[in-house]
Structure 1
């Protein structure tokens, strides 16, 4: 990789690092595991960058690499230790109080820990404002399947939140 390509890669990572943070939080419960997954995603992006074709948006390509890395990493971690997850879901845009927002986001990420890997990907892409068509494309399923799976996942997440007493 040339010096110019390396600088461009680092710029793109810096611009889009929020995606990696969100994926890490969705798939890992502890901060240490989130940081490990974050680093693993960066490594996989670095390895795959020479194959990135500019005919798609970098962020779209990054979603795919990050989610695929998280799915593989998550399966490895699940085999090592069966973690105990917690829970929550909310309309993230509706909070005025920062402390309350942080607390609700924390509950949300804990609730997401109870979802399976595909459900986490669906919720992540939904929160990234991707359309059903984009979600289907990123996960390699039909648009109808994406819509049905997403609706079921949202319902499941709401049940998890109620079960754990995180009603708002």
Structure 2
């Protein structure tokens, strides 16, 4: 890992995409403390991967951000299911990162939607996240590494599953 300080370009990128990255953390972590830890892990992995992206930016930056964030979120979820929660300390310099916006209470309908999304598989959550971000099927296919036709089929199945979950008592 590079010990160089965060560059202004990197900090601007994080600030511009912070709401999207927070949504990734929200979808994969229902608990606020875990969500903040995941958000910091995503930031750390983005910082570690930034030099490789800068050297060869063949992929759009938004696609790259999603790939890194989703990979970190899914890995974190798998680790949390295998071990008890433990306090993790971030590296020195986290104070340079943009502060997350304060989280307020969710309206009832939004809370119900998040509870339903929490019951989806890791891959299904990725589809919901990209759908909520209004990503095209082409972008989804690129981010997830599958065909557009496969995206259409899976999106239809995820939407049906969410409809079913929203009509069921929690």
Is the aligned partner of 1:66 residue 2:66?
Answer: no
More helix by share: 1
TM-score, scaled to structure 1: 0.80
Post-superposition offset of 1:3: 7.4
Deviation for aligned residue 1:80:
2.8
Q: Give the equivalent residue in structure 2 for 1:84.
A: none
Alignment RMSD (CA, Å): 2.3
Specify the alignment match of 2:156 in structure 1.
151
Deviation at 1:107, TM superposition (A): 1.7
Within 5 Å, give how 1:73-92 maps onto structure 2. Answer: 73-80=76-83
Which of the numbers 88, 107, 112 marks the counterpart of 1:107? 112
**For the residues of structure 1 that align with 2:7 and 2:29, how far apart are their CA atoms?**
28
Shift of 1:4: 9.3
Give 1:32-43 correspondences, 5 Å limit.
32-43=33-44
Give 3-state SS (helix, strand or coil) of 2:57's partner: coil
Moved over 4 A (4+): 1-5
Distance in 2, Cα, partners of 1:62 & 1:80:
27
1:19, distance to aligned residue in structure 2 (A):
1.1
- The verdict on how the C-alpha distance between 1:4 and 1:100 changes in structure 2, with shifts beyond 3 A counting, is closer
Aligned CA distance change for structure 1 residues 4 and 72 (closer, same or farther; 3 Å): closer
Q: Structure 1 residues 148, 9: CA separation in 2 closer, same or farther (over 3 Å shift)?
A: same
**2:112 aligned with 1:121:** no
Q: TM-score, normalised by structure 2?
A: 0.79
Moved more, 102-111 or 43-52: 102-111
Is this contact kept in 1: 2:63–2:139, CA < 8 A? no
* 1:56 aligned counterpart, secondary structure: coil
Give me the whole-angstrom Cα distance separating, in 2, the residues matched to 1:76 and 1:4.
Answer: 28
Deviates more, 1:99-108 or 1:152-161: 99-108
Q: Find the aligned partners of 1:157 and 1:140 in 2 and give their Cα distance.
A: 23
Contact 2:138 2:148 in 1 (8 A): yes
Deviation at 1:56, TM superposition (A): 3.2
The structural deviation recorded for 1:74 is 1.0
